[in-house]
Structure 1
Amino acid sequence: MSYNDFIIRDNLKEAYPDVYTPEALSALSALAHFNKRIKEVMATRMQRRAARQQNKTRITFLDPESTIPGTDIKVQDAREGKFEGSVIPADLQRQWIQGTGPAAKPDTPVESSIRNVAYALLSGADGWMFDGEDALGQISTMSLDNQRNLKLAIHKDPVFLKVAAKVAEEMNRWSKSFLGRDIVTDWESQLNFTTKIFRARGLHLDDRHIRDADGVAMAASIVDPTLYVVNNYKELQKNGSSIVLYLPKIQTAEEAGVWGSLLDALEDHLGLEAGTIKVYVLVEQLEATHQLMEIRAALGKHFVGYNTGRWDYINSVSDAMAWDTDFVNPNIEAITMTYGYMRNYEDRVRRTVNTPDINGNFALWQGGMEPNIPVGSEEGVSASMKKAVAGAEREQREGASGKWVAHWKMVHIVRPVWEKVGDANQLGREFPRLSYTQQDADGLILIEPAPTDIRGARNLLSVALQYGNAFGQGMQAAALKPADFFGNDDILYLMEDMATGEIRLSILWEWVHKGAIITEADSETDTSAGTVFSEALYIKLLDQEYDKLLKADTKDVYESSKSTTLPIAREIADVYILSEVKPPWFIDLLNINLNNSDLDTAKSRIDLYMTTLAQEGTRITENLDFVGYEKRADVSAL
């Protein structure tokens, strides 16, 4: 079906009339012109990246006398809080625990898929970020299933209510055995407790189902918020709920300004008061930490807070410093929120949110993700839960108003940290104002001594391969652990998402191309301390770790994936790590192979991507299976 401003592939308009409603299609048409602007800022992003690599330059702070591109905001004014921000809405004042996860499952009927939403809204979390990005699989029509399930839940459709009643019983059976009490007392009223939040895909990703009038893939950052807001804003407002989004992967204030303009236009189209749509921003990019006040100013009345994620941020630092042979990350397990550059990044965020705007408004800081889940041996669970609580206590002491959990079972384990304190939030807690010195910049790339060993390399490889495989199966979020610990219930599975695969390949790329020094001897590989991590050593470990996955039980690695998506995951990881030209995103190579289980086809697509990146400096982000349109002459053969 064609429209003046965009094209929807196949028969999806007819298959999802509840998502592609006339109102939603009208809004998409009104916002379609943003596609060109988004493509421009993404091209600029790639140009900056290429220039840094070629000229071997670090990211720097903006000139305080300059104006944020695309806005009329002076950088110095932004830093001094001379802009109008947002009053924090009532339902965001207390967000001690926010859960996160997708609202849909791959290849399952609505009654099964929508269980994800029921678990979330009955969990007792103060807010739940339903993910349309890193944790949501994208095979088939999962992005549309995600939207459908959210609409059914927000409108309390009978289909959802029937599922929620059953899920409440299941949750209480677990909680009685683990916590000694029910966690759901009145399931119907509890559905109203949790603030609904939606994470749209970033500016760097394209929607798989829509192209603009010129045949260019539509930015997912137009499609996702439009479908969510248009289909749900009336019901949310009727129930006294805010319309809240999480915005990922923003690198600059210019990009934040594009988001701000997009949301302004959506509000204007719907007749909503300016600033009605509220946003948290995930700080996932090194460049963003150099422009935090500027990003906050560019989003103005929309902005309510920052979140300090760990996974993507590590990847961004690695990517920005790929040219520097002296910058080598250690084992991933060492890079906690108190490590070197992570510690300095977190400190800048808390100083930013506690700087008042022109009206004296502060912003929220939502702490990082807790990936542990209480499933395993009694000893393993006990140790991991103590670690989880200690991490929450540290963030609360440092000034966070709450944190994230990746599984509903963790809500009642971690939330008491904030309940004991009792304060709704830590808005306005006093911290020093941000400074913009060379010392500050150096702190944001500070590497500290930590292990770089064979055990760490195995963990990086094993988990990266598993996440690539899970992605191909439609599960961008999954509970995984290194293959050597399969069957060991003392080592818990961690509930993480696709971003953790990004980190691992980035670090392995560093180790291979910068010659990381192994810090501990390893008898299995006959490696001594001081050995340089070589390409040959990487290949040896890859063969070994891949073999373990092939031999794993289906509980850990689906048997059917071993001849379909797992070989593709290996091919992508191998090309990524061995390439002299570092790919900007692991997920790009996975995205172009969604719904593909043929290794030869995958190799052709990977080669196309890497050749385009090397020769043109651009990424392939479109759906190569979009029937009826081939942008590139050589795509049709794939």
Structure 2
Amino acid sequence: MAVPQSALDPMSGLRLHADSEAYRDILTPGALSFVAGLHRRFDSRRRDLLAERATRQQRYDAGELPDFRADTAAIREGDWVVAPIPAALQDRRVEITGPVERKMIINALNSGAKVFMADFEDSSAPTWANQIDGQRNLRDAVDGSIEFTSGEGKVYRVGANPAVLVVRPRGWHLPERHVTVDGEVVSGALVDFGLFAFHNATALHARDRGPYFYLPKLQSMEEAALWNDVLSHAESVLGLPNGTMKATVLIETLPAVFQMHEILHALRDRAVGLNCGRWDYIFSYLKTFRAHRDRLLPERGQVTMNVPFLKAYSELLIRTCHRRGAFAMGGMAAQIPIKGDEEANAAAMAKVRADKLREVTAGHDGTWVAHPALVPVAQAVFDQHMPTSNQLHVSRDDVEVSRDALIAPAIGTITRQGFDNNVEVCLRYTAAWLDGLGCVPIHHLMEDAATAEIARAQLWQWLHHGPLEFSDHADVNFALFDQALAAHCHRLRESGHPGARRADEAAALIAALTHADELRDFLTLPAYEHLS
């Protein structure tokens, strides 16, 4: 229900289109006024930048290829560095990520990881309850009162030396339809950031803990500059020194890899690093080249970080960051422990160790894991090969990466199993997302929106850029897709897996998106209209 206008500042123009009575402690007049101020000051720029994304994609569809910007060569060639990095973020060798669910927050803070990235974005389905409960959970974590009691009576509390908290708001493209200002829907990013900063920034600053943020899905230095101005304005309003709020930027779009120097420069007073968001980066490659049949990728399992375009991306990120005094964070290990099968679990952990060994020997300063059990696995590798707190001293001056190296297609095949797995992952994740879960274990991998997007985009490209063949020379076609989708929908409906009750709705959405003549930018945008 909408909050009566009289319950808010009568001049604010802010309306809540959801139940707010249970969240009065979070949705205070002051917090709502702060969010409204962010919207009025910054939303027109945000919308203009989203329009620029669409225009840029039209050029790519017409045959243009991404490249380094000629107008920013002076930034790339300059000798500047980012501001000093706070002591709390000097050692980030293992970071754990997860949604802002109460038990998850406690377990992540207690996991032994150096940093916990609390995620309002790809691992969280943005229901109103999830997002606002998440704000309350983080406020309680910051003030030290958070605890959770399970149905069995087990009590969870945060122990000594918890991980440093870093928060990821939603990307610039996502709306929060439950909040409007002057009749306009507010950006999900500004709601997530605004509520968290208003309630927690002062307390975190007092303890030299930021606040710190991860910024997702950026495509350009102008989008980074918008975030810089949002953070600077928030500091001013909240009475914090300029540069208090620090940011790590996920380089998870293909356009952004050509502007890493520029993105750091736009945030140079508060940037502390860049992160290889590998799964979203693969999705962005697919989306950017959606009209380019010569740049199709093989099935996801074959697109590893040793593929030339991904290796080039990772190494260029390391060189760029270390030249600018910023940390180069590695990517996510999606594996989760396999209980009851020691051989399979040993093989999965071996893959994690190999991936982390690749990262640390390349010069990364830290890495991501999705499950607490992987923290000691990743840490052992980094402890052995990175005795210092970070590797800013590893310059990687040997790395020379061209435009063509960053966009070179990968060589590989499409197997029936890979095709079927894409259908299953896309359906099961979407159904779970519609049911309020944004982080879903499927076949011993922790799938989130990014991996579901890879599956969706690959299916669309394989089916619309035919004729293509499986590795056994059978045709890849819509009949097989429709058959596989129907079969997996039936299994999901009967399975009791997360999202089973939304199976038919999810299947209809996936079918419509896959059969459409144009690849949609994000699965989560049309799916958001179906979210309870």
Pick the TM interval, shorter chain: over 0.9
Answer yes or no: is 1:85 the counterpart of 2:82. Answer: yes
Match of 1:605 in 2: none
Q: TM-score, normalised on structure 1?
A: 0.78
2:424 aligned residue: 462
Kindly indicate whether residue 327 of structure 2 is the aligned counterpart of residue 382 of structure 1: no
Candidates 359, 364, 384, aligned match of 1:400: 364
Residue identity over aligned pairs, in percent, reads: 30
1:39 counterpart letter in structure 2: R
Residue in 2 that maps onto 1:630 = none
Instruction: Kindly indicate whether the alpha-carbon contact (under 8 Å) linking 1:119 and 1:167 is maintained by their aligned counterparts in 2.
Output: no
Larger radius of gyration: 1
Structure 2 residue 450 is the aligned partner of structure 1 residue 499: yes
Deviations 1:63-82 (A, max 9, x none): 1xx2xxxxxxxx22321245
DSSP 3-state at the match of 2:100: coil
Aligned with residue 587 of structure 1, among 518, 524, 530:
524
Counterpart of 2:304 in structure 1 is 336
Shift of 1:15: 2.7
> Aligned partners of 2:117, 2:13: CA distance in 1, in Å?
28
Following TM superposition, the consecutive aligned residue runs of length 4 or more in structure 1 with deviations greater than 6 angstroms are: 166-169
**In 2, Cα distance between the equivalents of 1:254 and 1:140?**
29
1:249 equivalent in alignment to 2:217: yes
Residue matched to 1:43: 51
Is residue 542 of structure 1 aligned with residue 485 of structure 2?
yes
- Cα drift, residue 440 of structure 1: 1.5
1:160 aligned partner: 147
Shift of 1:58: 1.5
Alpha carbons 1:350, 1:399 under 8 Å: kept: yes
Amino acid at match of 2:405: G
- CA distance in 2 between partners of 1:425 and 1:161 (Å): 34
What's the offset of the Cα at 1:161?
Answer: 7.6
Single out whichever of 311-320 and 442-451 deviates more from structure 2. Answer: 442-451
Shift of 1:168: 7.9
Residue 109 of structure 2 is aligned to residue 121 of structure 1: yes
Secondary structure of the 1:137 match is coil
Specify which of 286, 305, 321 is matched with residue 254 of structure 2. 286
Distance 2:158 2:524 in 1: 38
Question: Contact between 1:576 and 1:583, CA under 8 Å: does it hold in 2?
Answer: yes
Does residue 1:21 correspond to 2:28, yes or no? yes
Among 328, 331, 345, which residue is 1:368 paired with? Answer: 331
1:137-174: per-residue Cα shift (whole Å, max 9, x none)? 222421101000010111012x52878xx8688xxxxx
**Residue 512 (str. 1) matches residue 449 (str. 2):** no
- CA shift for structure 1 position 127: 0.3
The 1:82/1:23 distance shift into structure 2, 3 A limit, reads: farther
**Structure 1: stretches of 5+ with no match in the other structure:** 67-74, 105-113, 170-186, 357-361, 482-492, 522-528, 596-638
2:293 match: secondary structure: coil
The answer to whether 1:207 aligns with 2:176 is: yes
Distance, in Å, in 1 between the alignment partners of 2:506 and 2:17 is 28
1:495: how far off? 1.3
Equivalent position of 1:575 in the other structure: 512
Of 136, 158, 164, the residue aligned with 1:195 is 164
Say if 1:103 and 1:341 are closer, same or farther in 2 by CA, change over 3 A.
Answer: same
Structure 2: which 5+ runs fail to align?
none
The TM-score with structure 2 as length reference comes to: 0.93
SS of 1:217 mapped into structure 2 = strand
Looking at structure 2, the residues matched to 404 and 81 of structure 1 have their Cα atoms a distance apart, in angstroms, of 31
Look up the equivalent residue of 2:28 and give its one-letter code: T
Deviations along 1:336-373, one digit per CA (max 9) or x if unpaired, are 111132112112211110113xxxxx100111101111
* Contact 1:305/1:363 (8 A) holds in 2: yes
Specify the code of the residue in structure 2 equivalent to 1:262.
V
Separation in 2 of the partners of 1:121 and 1:296?
A: 28
2:200 equivalent to 1:219: no
Provide the C-alpha distance between the structure 1 equivalents of 2:434 and 2:223, rounded to a whole number of angstroms.
Answer: 29
Q: Quote the offset at 1:12 in angstroms.
A: 4.4
CA gap 1:167/1:497 in 2 versus in 1, 3 angstroms: farther
Query: Does the residue aligned with 2:407 lie in a helix, a strand or coil?
Result: coil
Aligned with residue 426 of structure 1, among 379, 391, 396: 391
Asked whether 1:7 is paired with 2:11, we answer: no
Q: Judge conservation of contact 1:139–1:473 (CA < 8 Å) in 2.
A: no
Which runs of structure 2 are paired with 1:231-380 in the superposition (5 Å)? 231-356=199-324, 362-376=325-339, 377-380=341-344
Task: State the 1:5 CA deviation.
Answer: 4.2
Cα distance, 1:534 vs structure 2: 2.0
Alpha-carbon distance, 1:291 to partner: 0.7
Does 2:404 match 1:453? no
Which residue identity lines up with residue 590 of structure 1 in the other structure? A
Q: Which residue of 32, 39, 42 corresponds with 2:39?
A: 32
Return the offset for 1:228: 0.9
Question: In 1, are the aligned partners of 2:14 and 2:36 still within 8 Å (CA)?
Answer: no
The alpha-carbon deviation at position 450 of structure 1 amounts to 1.3
**Is the 1:355–1:433 Cα contact (8 Å) retained in structure 2?**
no
Cα RMSD, aligned residues only = 2.1
Q: Number of matched residues? A: 521
Distance in 2, matches of 1:549 and 1:339, equals: 33
